[in-house]
Structure 1
């Protein structure tokens, strides 16, 4: 054929996942819709076209110039058949071409192209040797297949290396990318050597497959013989009336279950040994039950590779936003963790630890993460666990032995990559039965939990695909080594504004559903919701609010069932006393006035922030300092430091007070509750200063901070929780250490706007702001400050 008679501007035929080689006729089937377009384009150019392959992952309908390989083939339609649901085309692949220009033609393209010829860089002698090598390899490969003699005879009759390659190439087991790369080779020498490499690879692959098939057949034959023998044994036992409980059937089932469980080879060998041991047990053997329980666990655990699901970050963000109001920093941190997991192909690295007061949504965040990842959700509670065997399991030699809670959780999950919640990890208890917190070290260490060892299981189990999320109320009770293996995410208390939205958007619909009600039957006005939050609950989270809503729902359900009210039953603010009873006693609210020596302090507790009143009394005595209210050692030290600072700073102003002849009594109410921590120094100092000077402290002022003997006010933790507690209790002004100024950014803006923050650096600043006495800072304080900063004195 004269190539010059063919139009050099032809229609594009985009072919997905297929590479056509010149010199062959191929038959392809195309759906009717695409086939119509294909036929209309080709018929315009005497049935000629340029076939270019679409790159991987590109749609066959939407593509551009960059989505196509530019080296393809010139084709011609030789025959067309219209079938029931598609077209069948017989295509003659004429020659190799390269697209030079893409011309837009409606929704398709016209292609300007040039023909590509092989660069003949292989002389005739080398060509003959290459042809001989190829024919020899084809002959060797054909010996593994019946009926291949016809193909070998045809290949032996060819003398052109390009014809041989074109004939054999469709039979090669190559990827789409490898076929396209081969098509683009322009050197005859490189093309021949590459084809020779392909043939050698195919030969070795076939040889390996044949060896594997032979071994597999040998194994199958052995299993077949064992099955026949078991059937014969069963028949003999039936004849002898010795089949009690069908043990042979169980043995057969266990072997099938082990094969289907995708266990690692070393575990599979141990399981098969146990099956063999079970088969040797007598009918009434007690050990048989132990072995059966062990095999039941082995075959029910997920062993195979877990399905890798793509993590949709936008969908995960939407789930977290829909199910949790507020907590923006927490949700950002979780999304960052999921993003890293997506980049690492779901490989689990760090372990998350959600720390916050009760009722702030730690466990429900774990459920939302599982939903976002489309994984199974498993939860175990560790509160009160005191036995190491609860984590690692018991030895199988013990009567009533069980696997640990981790392995039991994996069995319930049924897959290797669940979201595993370890609830209340801070409430583990060390006892004479071991330390369960130490047993968790291996579980929560990404470097070693791929070979977790359970005493009952006795084989290593891979936990590296599990996303562990631990929850705790406080970091104090978590041992340091365990805490270091987790990535900590702090969840702080909710503001009243946040509680209102959580209650209205999440808790109320949930309570209605739990009580069989709907919004057409029961409605609670916004003002009533706010009153429940502010005057019937005192908490960092929203668990108490849910309990109160449940009380309202129960009362409403009774009235609705008895037809005592008209629907919808609307609960208003003034109805709450009749439904819920009296409001909380406001003992923890700021008073209207305080006597001298009474100061409001701020405290952090595992259940959120709180305010506490510190009271002082001066009485005749011998100069003793009396401390009551179950104060810990740290608070006792702060009280003694405060007494020394008062005597040193106010010595000139208090000449009429003889400390050696008066006792000082400091009391912190709620004496049944132990109190300790390095944040009450400022409040204790102010209590003594107010008492000895007779000046009252503003009841709407609260304070936190530690003091040193040199009079410096030191920073403390838990600022956000303390400030939110003060806001709930009606405090208007808060004294904070100057170094805690950066922590104010963590406090919601609506709370910050309603409070006045006073930042102090020394006890002189505290005295000035609390009791209005302005004292000069002693020179010794500056000297000590310079020494502490490394300056010479």
Structure 2
């Protein structure tokens, strides 16, 4: 076979210089492009015929090459695919088409544009025995190269054997051989296929010879290593002989020390036997072996675990109650549950440790209340953050199959505590993750199941450890992301957001004294009035907890500390009048959502992970053909609530005095502002229905009425959650009357009395009652 030159043509195209890379015809390869001129060349190629001229640089280190820094011969390639990577880099997939030589440079900026001379060949069957012999020699040399190098997959030989064109054979082999860039360029510049094969054959023979020499060197080095290993083995034998002669008692003394510790400590029988077996194994192994280190580590862990050590609970209810009140204001339910546990401990000595789950918004004190509980019980406190934990071995530990294996964080924390009954805080249990390394949430099931955790087995320890006396407390912002089986093991205690009065007490009794101390001030240096504290709470923070409130107080302390140092002041008083001077302009405003009664705008109440919030639901009817448009990034549940509300209205058109064809003559657009914030949940059904009825009847909705509840097709109002948070949000927004589902009446007990006294609560059972209190009947829109 041979290839005959059939065409020499001239064409213009963009050029990309390549660093340390040579592209051959028929070669499919991807590379990254990051230089500006190269990116411009890519964009130019994509605009036209997707063809680009790829040329290697003479020196790969040059970042901005000129024409003198690149070779004259390169490859015309077609761009197959482009992928943008981070950092303004583009990954390109190209296929080499044919060789080309630069004959003229048209431009150098903003990219290289060159005129090239392209040469293409076409194959035809001949009886040229010299070409056939040369091809066979090249293939044989390449097979020997593949066999010696072990760097190329043998499957490539199958592809090579099927190629009949000499030029393509040379290019394919050259693209798969690990040779210097200059040698690859030499093959690329050989336009004649026979000349190309001869050059490749010469290079292959040289490479095979070099590889054979490398193989001999490797064999010689391996023999030397075997000799070193033999010497090591003989030295180990010598050590064993010395040990028998009593010349080395190191390991024996270590084993005796372990056995002495084992006698002093009281372990369960099976644990004692297991540790003793491992100590005996230590004698039989070589001191230098890797397994010896693993066994030593295992014995140390086993001997230092508190198998029988435990602290005595403080069972004085009054003292425990005083400690809880000293550290935290409010949190009545949590404190009651702890005191109940202590009371039962006095009556039943063998009670298992409870597993509590404190659920609430960020900043309400879930983690800090756990520390206070530990102090009130006189227990050791350990904390394990579960946020982002993906590896099951974090919980159960690693198996002892490699050097560096350690127990899981459960056993590690128990050892850190030094007792078998600490208070164990599993923080952020709702943020557990899972991937190919296992499911940590499933691994926690055994830990948090009171019926199973009396014999929790860590993969590293391989012995059951009793966790039944540990008091586990978990924290979460929401229950939605906690797996149901895991949640079933826990007793949920909800911690709602704080009211203004609670925040005021927390700020004056805890946060302000704490920050004054941390900033090196004295109580006399800073005096904050009650009204100033209220203004910080209302106008500088909007949260369920007190974390941002503490930040603002810290900000205030910093400003005061600066003045105390600079101006030598002894006392600075903060009042509403000068608060702005220290904390700048207020961040939030608490006022009515709307200043007047409006048509088509109803005020709803929503629960979020950071507390309650108010929603203004706007409805506008327009002439159309009955479309229902929902905007504001609503979830599926809210969309279904809107459709259910429309269906209810259609079934009650006569009672509501609405045109029976409104659903076919009007397009109804329901919008909830803050479209960038996702909103979902079954609590806005009656609000959307009220807004739609107001819009189609032209009757205004009272501005100081807010509502929450789900609607059915027959107009019944269903209960919803988060009542306390929603009521507190309504109070902050200046709402006077709140409409709640009648089944949520019991939830109003959680709302503080001082809030209930200032607001009017109406419990509704049917949509008719909602309309009676929400719509300003007898008054049509004046517009």
Deviation at 1:714, TM superposition (A): 1.2
State yes or no: 1:285 paired with 2:285.
no
| Match of residue 334, structure 1, among 338, 360, 385 | 338
Distance (Å, rounded) in 1 between the aligned partners of 2:554 and 2:740: 39
Deviation at 1:622, TM superposition (A): 2.3
1:273 maps to which residue?
277
Task: State whether residues 522 and 569 of structure 1, in contact with CA within 8 Å, keep that contact through their aligned partners in structure 2.
Answer: yes
Deviation at 1:250, TM superposition (A): 3.4
CA deviation vs aligned residue, 1:537-573 (integer Å, no higher than 9, x gap): 11111111111111111222222233x1411222222
Distance (Å, rounded) in 2 between the aligned partners of 1:633 and 1:770: 26
Task: State whether residues 614 and 683 of structure 1, in contact with CA within 8 Å, keep that contact through their aligned partners in structure 2.
Answer: yes
Task: State whether residues 416 and 463 of structure 1, in contact with CA within 8 Å, keep that contact through their aligned partners in structure 2.
Answer: yes
CA deviation vs aligned residue, 1:412-431 (integer Å, no higher than 9, x gap): 10111111111111211233
1:403 maps to which residue?
407
Deviation at 1:283, TM superposition (A): 3.3
Deviation at 1:325, TM superposition (A): 1.3
Deviates more, 1:586-595 or 1:524-533: 586-595
Distance (Å, rounded) in 2 between the aligned partners of 1:458 and 1:513: 48
> Given the superposition, is the C-alpha separation of residues 731 and 256 from structure 1 closer, same or farther in structure 2, using an over 3 Å criterion?
farther
CA deviation vs aligned residue, 1:292-314 (integer Å, no higher than 9, x gap): 22222112211114243451111
> Given the superposition, is the C-alpha separation of residues 593 and 404 from structure 1 closer, same or farther in structure 2, using an over 3 Å criterion?
farther
Distance (Å, rounded) in 2 between the aligned partners of 1:306 and 1:678: 48
> Given the superposition, is the C-alpha separation of residues 751 and 565 from structure 1 closer, same or farther in structure 2, using an over 3 Å criterion?
farther
| Match of residue 492, structure 1, among 493, 496, 502 | 496
State yes or no: 1:711 paired with 2:718.
no
Deviation at 1:257, TM superposition (A): 3.2
CA deviation vs aligned residue, 1:459-500 (integer Å, no higher than 9, x gap): 101111111111112222222222222222221111100110
After TM superposition, the structure 1 = structure 2 runs for residues 747-758 of structure 1, keeping only pairs within 5 Å, are 747-758=751-762
Distance (Å, rounded) in 1 between the aligned partners of 2:367 and 2:246: 59
After TM superposition, the structure 1 = structure 2 runs for residues 284-433 of structure 1, keeping only pairs within 5 Å, are 284-345=288-349, 347-398=351-402, 400-433=404-437
1:598 maps to which residue?
601
State yes or no: 1:578 paired with 2:581.
yes
Task: State whether residues 418 and 466 of structure 1, in contact with CA within 8 Å, keep that contact through their aligned partners in structure 2.
Answer: yes
Task: State whether residues 350 and 485 of structure 1, in contact with CA within 8 Å, keep that contact through their aligned partners in structure 2.
Answer: no
> Given the superposition, is the C-alpha separation of residues 250 and 759 from structure 1 closer, same or farther in structure 2, using an over 3 Å criterion?
same
Task: State whether residues 310 and 342 of structure 1, in contact with CA within 8 Å, keep that contact through their aligned partners in structure 2.
Answer: no
Task: State whether residues 603 and 614 of structure 2, in contact with CA within 8 Å, keep that contact through their aligned partners in structure 1.
Answer: yes
Distance (Å, rounded) in 1 between the aligned partners of 2:397 and 2:405: 8
Q: CA-atom RMSD, angstroms?
A: 2.4
Task: State whether residues 314 and 376 of structure 2, in contact with CA within 8 Å, keep that contact through their aligned partners in structure 1.
Answer: no
1:624 maps to which residue?
627
Deviation at 1:520, TM superposition (A): 2.1
Structure 2 residue runs of 5 or longer lacking an equivalent are 1-238, 779-783
State yes or no: 1:534 paired with 2:538.
yes
Task: State whether residues 614 and 684 of structure 1, in contact with CA within 8 Å, keep that contact through their aligned partners in structure 2.
Answer: yes
Task: State whether residues 601 and 613 of structure 1, in contact with CA within 8 Å, keep that contact through their aligned partners in structure 2.
Answer: yes
Secondary structure, aligned partner of 1:574: coil
Structure 1 residue runs of 5 or longer lacking an equivalent are 1-232, 775-793
Distance (Å, rounded) in 2 between the aligned partners of 1:308 and 1:648: 67
Task: State whether residues 356 and 606 of structure 1, in contact with CA within 8 Å, keep that contact through their aligned partners in structure 2.
Answer: yes
Deviation at 1:688, TM superposition (A): 0.8
Deviation at 1:698, TM superposition (A): 2.2
Deviation at 1:504, TM superposition (A): 0.4
Deviation at 1:701, TM superposition (A): 1.5
> Given the superposition, is the C-alpha separation of residues 620 and 272 from structure 1 closer, same or farther in structure 2, using an over 3 Å criterion?
same
Deviates more, 1:605-614 or 1:304-313: 304-313
TM-score relative to the length of structure 2: 0.66
State yes or no: 1:645 paired with 2:620.
no
Secondary structure, aligned partner of 2:599: coil
> Given the superposition, is the C-alpha separation of residues 412 and 439 from structure 1 closer, same or farther in structure 2, using an over 3 Å criterion?
same
| Match of residue 252, structure 1, among 247, 256, 269 | 256
| Match of residue 670, structure 1, among 660, 674, 689 | 674
Deviates more, 1:549-558 or 1:327-336: 327-336
Deviation at 1:535, TM superposition (A): 0.8
Secondary structure, aligned partner of 1:573: coil
Task: State whether residues 538 and 590 of structure 2, in contact with CA within 8 Å, keep that contact through their aligned partners in structure 1.
Answer: no
Deviation at 1:446, TM superposition (A): 1.3
Deviates more, 1:502-511 or 1:651-660: 651-660
Distance (Å, rounded) in 2 between the aligned partners of 1:555 and 1:237: 72
State yes or no: 1:728 paired with 2:736.
no
Deviation at 1:585, TM superposition (A): 3.5
